[in-house]
């Protein structure tokens, strides 16, 4: 194998893995959440505001760790807001999710003007979270390996533990689980917290790891692709991991084809791939997929 | 018990909503009264309002807009004020109220953000004169002047510098969404590169351009720059807004790891060298501040005319970065509390060392100034493609690889 082929391979691998991290984290989070019968369509908003908070905190304090922690703190706040809305007030999950999206998107811009008095961060962060530098192709973040571990752990939790069985039971038939003595709200609250923490981690990754700065709207639909990925993955964390890498690859593909291989075509075609893939899967072309029966349904004790 | 709880919550909700509405109303009335209190102006005074494309403090277009308004006030003795645009959806209501007030001799709007608001407002106020920068209304109105920037000319000058600074003879251009605005940038730039090669009998340089498909995705800009760098490029031009910032970050990261073998960045729209001081050979500029002064001067003299006016090298409304633009950006940064004095000094030291270096001055004097005079005297015309097929044609002519 000539070194050229290795380099050509690395030149597509490194950006693919870079794009895949937030997709894996948010996709896994959404799979777990929907398995418990709750859907969160507002991930994009939380991701944006976490990205902002992480970058702003790291910029002002000079500590990446504090940036990361403050982003997780935002995740926790969003988890409490969302739980209050859908568990305590039995609000519609779609409406509440849109609320989260708008809140997060708006808060990120408001924060930018409040902290930096500007539409941009004046200077980039002096450093980002550590990773493995691969020649000049960029780095493979340690968070990539963390995200793999989280996906695998989520799989074992959902399908190999008793608590995982309870989560899935609540997502399929909350009435039966309730009759069996499980507190629906308590379990869903716990899963919502895990979900929001992972999504805010994905946001922080974008602004203090992959990039040394926050840019308005920098998630560019990652939260929505992750939402679609939960379905694409048939609500299985391991397939969400695979889907994350696959969709990361499709994001990196047009650049690689154009600049490295010299094959040019309109980039819009590749941008469609994740969405086409989801439609194909949901249309049952590849295999049968079935959503957890209680997703998005308000649970009310009779 | 449950219903009592619910009732309490709904009462609380209604109370919160009422409080929010009252506060919002009070704030609105306050701002309105603030605005209108300064509104009664003597009628013989020439009043101009400058509507910014966004919020001040961007070290870019908006700060330049404020500066332009101030300079016009000082130099021309006119009364200028500026309005920020926190959210593009407010453009129409802001423009409507300005036109309806009837107190402005001239309303200047900056950026395409105002285009649709202008299209709907201008016909309603035929006696109000409007100006828009950096955008052209599809339908011409007798009371709108559009100032369009000849970015192809300034880009050509940046191309000359890039060609002079590349050692590997490979140059990468990171672009945003595939739109006609960017065609002129890319073609002008590669024109400058080829012009330099002809003058010096060097090259040919490989020039690659890549449309990332976004203006807000620094990850894509970074990946594009890294791929160019891995291909051997040592000059990266980021002409892609927020996406471009990622490309500039990539240049900075590379230079941190390879301090003995630095590569160069090129910025866009405003002097971006503060992002990577000493590592950015130039920025392709639109002089919004000068444009404001010149437009007001013409209108004040009674020579306002509608249609499209070109802001080009000849009238000095586009150009490339120099020590003046660097000082201007640093002044904005210090005034806005974005840089400390120490940061300002180190940015200035690094960037001025580059701009004052013998090599840089040689390129400026022997080549950039020559091409400038060729363009301004009309000996040289640089294409500004307005369609994708036109762009493809010129890309082929100048051997620009693009997606």
**pLDDT (tens digit per residue) in B172-215:** 999 998 888 899 999 999 999 999 999 999 979 999 999 998 88
B133 with B193, same domain: the answer is no
B280 with B379, same domain: the answer is yes
For tokens 């300064």, the residue is B38
Q: Of B99, B117, B149, which residue constitutes the final position of a domain?
A: B149
Q: Is residue A84 part of a domain?
A: yes
Domain that holds residue A49: 3-282
Which ipTM score applies to this complex? 0.92
CATH number of the domain residue A79 falls in: 1.10.3470
CB contact, 8 Å: A165 with chain B?
no
pTM of the model: 0.88
pLDDT single digits (tens) B5-64? 566 566 666 666 677 677 777 666 665 555 544 444 445 689 999 999 887 777 778 888
Q: Of B101, B126, B149, which residue constitutes the final position of a domain?
A: B149
Q: Is residue A297 part of a domain?
A: no
Instruction: Give the other-Cβ count within 10 Å of B21's Cβ.
Output: 10
B180 with B328, same domain: the answer is yes
B74 with B188, same domain: the answer is no
User: How many residues are listed for chain B in this entry?
Assistant: 403
B174 with B128, same domain: the answer is no
Evaluate whether B400 touches B209 at the Cβ level (below 8 Å): yes
**Residue B13: predicted pLDDT:** 67
A59-63, A224-228, B164-168: which range is least confident on average?
Answer: A224-228
Tally of domains within chain A:
1
Evaluate whether A21 touches A205 at the Cβ level (below 8 Å): yes
pLDDT single digits (tens) A132-179? 999 899 999 999 999 999 999 999 999 999 999 999 999 999 999 999
Evaluate whether B105 touches B304 at the Cβ level (below 8 Å): no
B180-200 helix and B388-397 helix, angle to the nearest 10 degrees: 10
Tally of domains within chain B:
2
> Cα separation of A238 and A225, whole Å?
16
> Cα separation of B209 and A161, whole Å?
52
Q: Which of A19, A122, A256 sits opposite B59 (nearest CB)?
A: A122
Domain that holds residue B93: 47-149
Taking every pair of Cα atoms in chain B, the longest distance, rounded to a whole number of angstroms, is 89
Give the closest-approach CA distance of A16 to chain B in angstroms: 10
B131 with B209, same domain: the answer is no
Q: Of B105, B134, B149, which residue constitutes the final position of a domain?
A: B149
pLDDT class of A284 with cuts at 50, 70, 90: low
B215 with B82, same domain: the answer is no
B126 with B175, same domain: the answer is no
Give the closest-approach CA distance of B399 to chain A in angstroms: 13
> Cα separation of B97 and A110, whole Å?
25
**Residue B194: predicted pLDDT:** 97
Instruction: Give the other-Cβ count within 10 Å of A70's Cβ.
Output: 20
B162 with B66, same domain: the answer is no
B119 with B144, same domain: the answer is yes
Q: Is residue B377 part of a domain?
A: yes
Task: Spell B26-58 as b/e; 16+ CB within 10 A means b.
Answer: eeeeeeeeeeeeeeeeeeeebbbbbbbbbbbbb
> Cα separation of B403 and A260, whole Å?
11
Q: Is residue A120 part of a domain?
A: yes
CATH number of the domain residue B54 falls in: 3.40.50.2300
Q: Is residue A289 part of a domain?
A: no
CB contact, 8 Å: A221 with chain B?
no
B226 with B107, same domain: the answer is no
Testing the interface with B: which of A54, A87, A259 to mutate, by most B Cβ within 10 A? A259
Task: Spell A130-165 as b/e; 16+ CB within 10 A means b.
Answer: ebeebebbbbbbebbeebbebbeebbebbeeeeebe
B356 with B212, same domain: the answer is yes
**Residue A212: predicted pLDDT:** 95
């Amino acid at each position: 194998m000539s070194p050229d082929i290795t380099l050509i391979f690395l030149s597509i691998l490194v950006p693919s893995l870079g794009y895949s991290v937030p997709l894996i984290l948010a996709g896994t989070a959404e799979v777990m959440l929907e398995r418990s019968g709750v859907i969160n369509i507002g991930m994009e908003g939380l991701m944006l505001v976490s990205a902002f908070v992480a970058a702003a905190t790291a910029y002002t304090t000079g500590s990446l760790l504090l940036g990361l922690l403050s982003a997780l703190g935002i995740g926790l706040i969003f988890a409490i807001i969302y739980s209050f809305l859908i568990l305590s007030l039995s609000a519609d999950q779609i409406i509440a999710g849109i609320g989260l999206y708008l809140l997060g998107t708006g808060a990120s811009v408001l924060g930018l003007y409040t902290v930096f008095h500007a539409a941009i961060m004046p200077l980039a962060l002096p450093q980002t979270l550590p990773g493995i530098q691969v020649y000049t192709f960029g780095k493979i973040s340690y968070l990539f390996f963390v995200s793999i571990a989280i996906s695998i752990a989520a799989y074992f939790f959902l399908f190999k533990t008793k608590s995982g069985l309870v989560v899935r039971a609540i997502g399929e038939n909350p009435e039966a689980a309730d009759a069996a003595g499980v507190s629906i709200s308590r379990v869903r609250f716990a899963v919502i917290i895990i979900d929001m923490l992972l999504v805010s981690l994905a946001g922080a990754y974008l602004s203090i790891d992959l990039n040394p700065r926050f840019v308005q709207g920098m998630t560019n639909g990652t939260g929505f692709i992750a939402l679609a990925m939960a379905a694409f993955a048939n609500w299985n964390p391991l397939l969400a991991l695979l889907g994350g890498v696959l969709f990361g690859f499709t994001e990196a593909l047009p650049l690689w084809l154009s600049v490295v291989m010299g094959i040019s075509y309109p980039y819009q075609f590749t941008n469609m791939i994740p969405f086409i893939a989801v439609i194909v899967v949901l249309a049952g072309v590849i295999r049968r997929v079935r959503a957890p029966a209680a997703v998005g349904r308000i649970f009310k004790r009779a | 018990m449950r219903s009592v709880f619910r009732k309490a919550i709904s009462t609380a909700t209604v109370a919160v909503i009422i409080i929010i509405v009252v506060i919002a109303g009070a704030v609105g009335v306050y701002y309105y009264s603030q605005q209108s209190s300064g509104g009664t102006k003597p009628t013989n005074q020439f009043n101009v309002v400058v509507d910014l494309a966004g919020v001040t403090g961007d070290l870019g277009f908006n700060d330049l807009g404020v500066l332009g308004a101030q300079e016009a006030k000082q130099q021309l003795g006119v009364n200028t004020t500026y309005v920020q645009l926190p959210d593009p959806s407010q453009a129409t209501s802001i423009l409507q109220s300005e036109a309806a007030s009837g107190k402005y001799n001239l309303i200047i709007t900056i950026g395409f953000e105002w285009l649709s608001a202008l299209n709907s407002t201008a016909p309603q106020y035929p006696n109000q004169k409007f100006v828009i920068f950096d955008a052209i209304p599809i339908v011409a109105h007798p009371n709108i002047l559009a100032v369009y920037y000849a970015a192809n000319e300034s880009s050509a000058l940046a191309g000359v510098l890039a060609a002079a600074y590349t050692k590997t003879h490979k140059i990468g251009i990171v672009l945003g969404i595939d739109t006609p605005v960017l065609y002129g940038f890319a073609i002008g730039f590669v024109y400058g590169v080829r012009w330099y090669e002809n003058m010096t009998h060097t090259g040919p340089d490989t020039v690659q351009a890549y449309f990332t498909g976004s203006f807000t995705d620094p990850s894509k800009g970074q990946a594009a720059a890294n791929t160019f760098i891995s291909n051997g490029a040592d000059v990266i031009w980021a002409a892609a807004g927020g996406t471009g910032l990622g490309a500039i970050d990539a240049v900075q990261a590379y230079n941190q790891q390879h301090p003995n073998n630095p590569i160069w960045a090129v910025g866009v729209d405003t002097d971006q060298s503060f992002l990577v001081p000493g590592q950015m050979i130039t920025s392709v500029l639109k002089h919004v501040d000068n444009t404001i002064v010149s437009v007001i001067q013409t209108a004040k003299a009674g020579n306002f005319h509608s249609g499209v006016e070109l802001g080009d090298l000849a009238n000095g409304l586009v150009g490339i970065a120099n020590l003046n633009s660097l000082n201007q950006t640093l002044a904005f940064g210090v005034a806005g509390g974005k840089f400390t004095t120490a940061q300002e000094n180190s940015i200035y030291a690094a960037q001025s060392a580059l701009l004052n270096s013998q090599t840089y001055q040689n390129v400026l004097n022997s080549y950039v100034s020559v091409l400038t005079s060729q363009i301004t005297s009309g000996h040289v015309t640089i294409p500004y493609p307005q369609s994708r097929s036109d762009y493809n044609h010129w890309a082929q002519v100048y051997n620009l690889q693009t997606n």
